[in-house]
Amino acid sequence: MDGGEKMKVELPKAFRELLTVRARYKLFYGGRAGGKSFAFADALLTQATSRKLLIACVREVQNSIKDSVYKLIADRIAFYGLGEYRLYEDRIVNRKNQSKFIFKGIMDHNAQNIKSLEGVDICWCEEAQKISERAWQILDPTIRKPGAEIWLSMNREEEADPVWKALARHPDSDTVIRKVNYYDNPYCPENMRRLAARCKAENYDEYLHVWEGEPRLLAGDHLIGRQEVFRAMQNKPEGDVRTAPLIAGVDVARFGDDKTVFCLRQGRQVLSFKAFQKLDVVQAAHRVGAMIAAEHPARVCIDVGGVGAGVYDVLAADGFAEYIVPVNFGERAELAERYANRRAEMWARAAAWLSSPLPVSLPDIPGLAEDLTAPLKTFDSLGRLQLEPKADIKKRLGRSPDLGDALALTFAVQNEAYLLKGSRGGEYVDDAIYV
Ligand SMILES: Nc1ncnc2c1ncn2[C@@H]1O[C@H](COP(=O)(O)OP(=O)(O)OP(=O)(O)O)[C@@H](O)[C@H]1O
Ligand SMILES: [Mg+2]
C-alpha cells in the first residue's frame, strides 16, 4: 500500500512549518535542547509513513553510521511502535510503502554516491553549521527532484557559516528560516533549563552562543557588547518621554543591497526603525519628508557621505533645511582629540547610551543586535578611538550594519539649544546621559 497511513505526533509548535509549508529550504537554528533533532526525526517519520519518500540524512563526513542520526530515527520508530519499518545496517525502510531513509557523508562521495542522492525527496542536513562551502556546492544542485526539500538544523558557529551565508543572509520566498531555543521546546528536560539559567548568569556571551544559537562573536574588542543590547531589548519603553527631543537618524543606502534606514530615538527610548530597499535619491527624500511631517522630530541627522548628499539637497530645496543636519562619517569629530572621526564618536555615544545606568530601550528586531555588536574598536597612533572600517564589517556580516549606523546618527547632535527646549514642548531634562 502506497500512502494513507497516519502517524500521530506532537510536533512542538515552533516546528510546525516542517509539515505545513512547502519550501525548498527549511532552516531551523538555535541553541542546545531546542528540540531540533527530535522534531526533524518525528516530522520525517510522519512524512515517510504517509507516502513513499526517499529521505537522505546527510552531514559533511560520515565515517560510520554511528555519526549519523540513524540511532535517533530508530529510537523514534521504537517509541511510536511503528512496526512497518525495518532497520538495515545502513538504511531504514518502510515495508508498507517503500519509503527509505539513507545516511550519507557529502564529502565521502564518489560519483556513485552522489548519484544516490539525486532522487531524494527530503534531505536533512543535521549540524548544518559544520557543512563546508564545498560540500554545500555539491549537495544543493544534487537534490534536484522537482519539489524536493532540504531541511537544515543548526547551531550557528560563526557569522559566516557557509550554509547560513548561502541561505539566511538574503532569504528568498522559497526559504523558511526559524530560530528555536530550549524555551520553545515543551519537552526540554528540567536539568537543561537549569544549565541554561546558570550559564546565563555566569557567562552571557557563552549563553547566547550555546543556548540561544547566536554565532560566536569574533575574537577582538567589540565596541558594543551583547549584554547591553539584549538588556535594552528587554526593557519596555517606560512612560512619558516627552521631555526629551525626538531625534531621527537616516542612514542612506550606499549600494544596491544596502538599506535606507530611519531610526527614531527620544531620550532613553528608541521608538522605531524603518528600513527601505531600493529607493532612489528623490524617493528617499520624500520618505524623510513624510516622516518629518508625521513625527515632528526636532532634528533629522542624515548621512551625507555618499548618495545621502543628494537626499539632503532635495530636502533642503523642499523647505526642510531647519530640521536636517548633514553628517559625514569621515569628518572630524567634535572631540577630535578622543575620536578618529565622526563615525567613531557617534558610535561611542551610542555605546555609552547603551551602558547607561538608567534603563534604555531598543525594539527587539531581527538583525539589530548583530549590527550593533559588529564593529571592532581600535585606537589610532594618537590614541583616539577608531572603528573597524565599514567595508571590513560588511565582508564579515554580509551586509552593512545599517540599523546600527541609523541609531548612531541619532547621536550626531547633542547639547544644543533646541535640545534643551524639547521638541514636543516641555523641559528637556536628561541630557547628561548622552555624553
Ligand atoms: N518529542 C519529544 N518527546 C520527548 N522528549 C523530547 C522531544 N523533543 C525533545 N525532547 C527532549 O528535549 C531534548 C532536546 O531535544 P533535541 O536533542 O532534539 O534538541 P536539539 O535542538 O537538537 O539540541 P542540540 O543542539 O543539543 O542537539 C531531548 O534530549 C529530549 O530530552
Ligand atoms: Mg540536536
Residue predicted with more confidence, 242 or 55: 55
Task: Look at 122-131, 176-185, 396-405, 410-419 and tell me which has the smallest mean pLDDT.
Answer: 410-419
Distance from Cα 33 to the centre of ligand 1, integer Å: 5
Q: Please report the pLDDT score of residue 422 as a whole number.
A: 42
How many angstroms separate the Cα of 173 from the Cα of each of 24, 137, 145, 167, 368? Answer: 9, 20, 19, 11, 22
- Write out the three cell numbers for 46: 510522519
Please write the tens of the pLDDT for every residue from 227-240: 899 899 988 877 65
Query: Model confidence at 118, in pLDDT bands (50, 70, 90)?
Result: confident
Q: Please report the pLDDT score of residue 434 as a whole number.
A: 38
Q: Rg for the chain (alpha carbons), in Å?
A: 26
Distance from Cα 40 to the centre of ligand 2, integer Å: 9
Closest CA to 248 of 284, 297, 286, 294: 297
Mean pLDDT of 211-228: 87
Indicate the top mutation candidate among 13, 38, 126, 127 to test ligand 1's pocket, ranked by most ligand atoms within 8 A of CB: 38
Is residue 37 lining ligand 1, measured as CB closer than 6 Å? yes
Kindly report the average pLDDT of the chain as a whole number: 89
Query: Model confidence at 160, in pLDDT bands (50, 70, 90)?
Result: confident
pLDDT above 70 as % of the chain: 92
pLDDT above 90 as % of the chain: 70
The string of DSSP letters for 317-355 reads: IIIITTTEEEE-TTSPPTTTTTBSSHHHHHHHHHHHHHT
Q: Please report the pLDDT score of residue 287 as a whole number.
A: 96
Q: Please state the pTM of the whole predicted model.
A: 0.75
Ligand 1, residue 9: give the atom nearest the CA: 1
Crossing angle between the packed helical segments 204-212 and 190-202, to the nearest 10 degrees: 150
The answer on pLDDT for 2 being more than 50 is no
Mean pLDDT of 69-84: 96
Query: Model confidence at 430, in pLDDT bands (50, 70, 90)?
Result: very low
The string of DSSP letters for 185-240 reads: -TT--HHHHHHHHHHHHH-HHHHHHHHH-PPPPPSS-BSS-HHHHHHHHHSPP-S-
> For the chain, which domains are there?
13-184 (3.40.50.300), 220-434 (3.30.420.240)
Q: Which of 16-30, 191-205, 381-395 has the highest mean pLDDT?
A: 16-30
The answer on pLDDT for 225 being more than 70 is yes
Distance from Cα 72 to the centre of ligand 2, integer Å: 10
Mean pLDDT of 139-158: 95
Please write the tens of the pLDDT for every residue from 263-283: 999 988 999 999 998 889 999
Query: Model confidence at 367, in pLDDT bands (50, 70, 90)?
Result: confident
The answer on pLDDT for 114 being more than 80 is no
Mean pLDDT of 286-310: 94
Q: Please report the pLDDT score of residue 5 as a whole number.
A: 67
Mean pLDDT of 317-324: 93
The answer on pLDDT for 429 being more than 50 is no
Mean pLDDT of 107-111: 71
Ligand 1, residue 38: give the atom nearest the CA: 18
Distance from Cα 32 to the centre of ligand 1, integer Å: 8
